[in-house]
Amino acid sequence: MRTFARITLDPAVMGGKACIRGMRVTVGMIIGLLAAGRGREEILAAYPYLETEDIDQALAYAAWRLEEREVELTAS
């Protein structure tokens, strides 16, 4: 598994969704804002506690998750 230093998964934060550095900002929210046409600078201005690297890692994490494939295990 690839590691993402800025992405955290904690069942006690946002129901275990992938978040940025333990904050209540999810990767999905960042990707959604970008998909809606918001620019990086606009996102950073709206959420001043975020850093450019957080957006980069959110994109990298989302891309990695899309490439991941779940394989169902069967009992033998």
Buried b / exposed e over 29-67, threshold 16 CB at 10 Å, is bbbebbeeeeeeeebeeebeebeeebbebbeebbeeeee
Q: Please say if the pLDDT value at position 58 is more than 70.
A: yes
Question: Does any domain span residue 1?
Answer: no
Count of domains in the chain? 1
- The total of other beta-carbon atoms located within 10 Å of residue 6's CB is 19
Question: Does any domain span residue 60?
Answer: yes
Alpha carbon distance, N-terminus to C-terminus of the chain: 26
Question: Does any domain span residue 42?
Answer: yes
Q: pLDDT grade, residue 70 (50/70/90)?
A: confident
- Tens digits of per-residue pLDDT, 7-57? 999 999 999 999 999 999 999 999 999 999 999 999 999 999 999 999 999
Find the CATH number of the domain harbouring 31: 1.10.10.10
pLDDT at residue 1 in the model: 61
Q: Which residues have a Cβ under 8 Å from the Cβ of 47 and sit 6 or more positions away? A: 25
